[in-house]
Amino acid sequence: MKAHGHVFKYGDNVDTDVIIPARYLNTSDAKELAAHCMEDIDADFVSKVKEGDIMVATRNFGCGSSREHAPLAIKTAGISCVIAATFARIFYRNSINIGLPILECPEAVDGINAGDEVEVDFDTGKITNVTSGKTFQAQPFPAFMQEIIKADGLVNQLRAKLA
């Protein structure tokens, strides 16, 4: 499985309140949430993002609240993969559980600029900056998490287990 798209790049500590502000949490409709994704720090994101695009950020992406609405909004907005130097732990867990691919790779974050065209191979963890020609290697997921990802999320995995 591969992701291929252009990059939206952000800095440290992008919190879940800016990914999806609490004022919109009176719904669990993914499309409604996606319509407000990132609006408090990047008002143009929703109008500019295209299906398959990639989000890149530096440290502690997704810090703050446990709202699963945050990875859900990012995924539904069309983002195919988030690459960060580090992720906040609840966001990390939630992303795996809902099937939003995320990769930790500080070198790639340093070597990718906003607007670059990037390709990610999830099977190998190889990240290619098509614009610059540079490649990076992300840490592969532990086998335990790969199983959740293969099952397309925790719920599907559990459904198979309990069936």
Partner 1 sequence: MGMTMTQKILAAHAGLDSVTAGQLIEAKLDLVLGNDVTTPVAINEFDKIGCKTVFDRTKVAIVPDHFTPNKDIKAAEQAKKVREFARKHDIENYFEVGCMGIEHALLPEKGLVVAGDVVIGADSHTCTYGALGAFSTGIGSTDMAAGMASGTAWFKVPSAIKFVLKNKLSGWASGKDVILHIIGMIGVDGALYQSMEFTGPGLASIDIDGRFTIANMAIEAGAKNGIFPVDKVALKYLKEHGKRPNRIYEADPDAEYERVIEIDLAAIKPTVAFPHLPSNTKTIDEAKGLKIDQVVIGSCTNGRIQDLRIAAKILKGRSVSKDIRCIIFPATQKIYLQAVKEGLAEIFVKAGVAFSTPTCGPCLGGHMGILAKGERALATTNRNFVGRMGHPESEVYLSNPAIAAASAITGVITDPDDLPRK
Does residue 18 belong to the site contacting partner 1 (CB under 8 A)? yes
Which of 79, 66, 3 is CA-nearest to residue 34? Answer: 79
Cα angle vertex 143, ends 142, 149, to 5°?
95
Binder of partner 1 out of 9, 25, 106, 117 (CB under 8 A): 25
Segment lying near partner 1 (by CB under 8 A), choices 64-72, 76-84, 115-123, 126-134: 64-72
Which of 110, 105, 132, 143 is CA-nearest to residue 121? Answer: 105
Nearest approach in angstroms of CB 117 to partner 1 is: 29
Judging by DSSP bridges, how do beta strands 81-84 and 102-104 pair with one another? parallel
Bridge partner residues of 15 (DSSP): 63
Per-residue burial over 7-30, b = 16 or more CB atoms within 10 Å of its CB, e = otherwise: bbbbeeebbbbbbbeeebeeeeee
Tokens describing residue 18: 């800016």
Does residue 22 belong to the site contacting partner 1 (CB under 8 A)? yes
From residue 80 to residue 119, the character string flagging contacts with partner 1 as x (rule: CB under 8 A) and all else as - is: ------x-xxx--xx--xx---------------------
Q: Whose Cβ is closer to partner 1: residue 66's or residue 113's?
A: 66
Does residue 75 belong to the site contacting partner 1 (CB under 8 A)? no
- In the complex, the residues that contact partner 1 under the rule CB under 8 A are 13, 15, 17-18, 21-23, 25-28, 40-41, 59-60, 63-69, 71-72, 86, 88-90, 93-94, 97-98, 142, 144, 153-156, 158-159, 162-163
